[in-house]
Amino acid sequence: MTGIDNFKIINDTYGHAAGDDILVKTAEVLYESARSSDYIFRYGGEEFLIVLIETSKAEAYSIIDRMRKKIQEKSIYIQRDERIFVTISAGIATYNGHPDYECLIKAADDALYQC
């Protein structure tokens, strides 16, 4: 689970159109950085759920860190001459065999908010 840091402040400062553009640009980087076996979903306002198939926790940390760095390095133009840099936080959970997928999502969401 990832979340765009300070998204409410961005929306309040630059407007919802800028916030929407940041969501799109963030999603683009996530999709470009994902492997063909991965799934990326928008989950809530500024959160994205990333499902990494057959991936160890160590590999997940590496993949998410690579995505985080790419997002952090990308400047986003919010007005003609103004650009900002966005950061994300992430929480990682691994499948433990529980049949209810919502338990895994909750574990990832809980891990996100431990940051």
pLDDT in 10s for each residue of the chain, 115 residues: 999 999 999 999 988 988 999 999 999 999 999 999 999 999 988 999 999 999 999 999 999 999 999 999 988 887 777 889 999 999 999 998 888 989 999 999 999 988 5
pTM listed for this prediction:
0.89
Number of domains in the chain: 1
Instruction: Write the CATH number for 56.
Output: 3.30.70.270
Q: Which domain covers residue 64, as residue numbers?
A: 2-112
Which two three-digit tokens encode residue 7? 């998204």
Residue of 46, 47, 54, 59 with catalytic role: 46
46 carries an active-site annotation: yes
Per DSSP, the residues of 32-56 read HHS-TT-EEEE-SSSEEEEE-TT--
pLDDT (0 to 100) of residue 99: 86
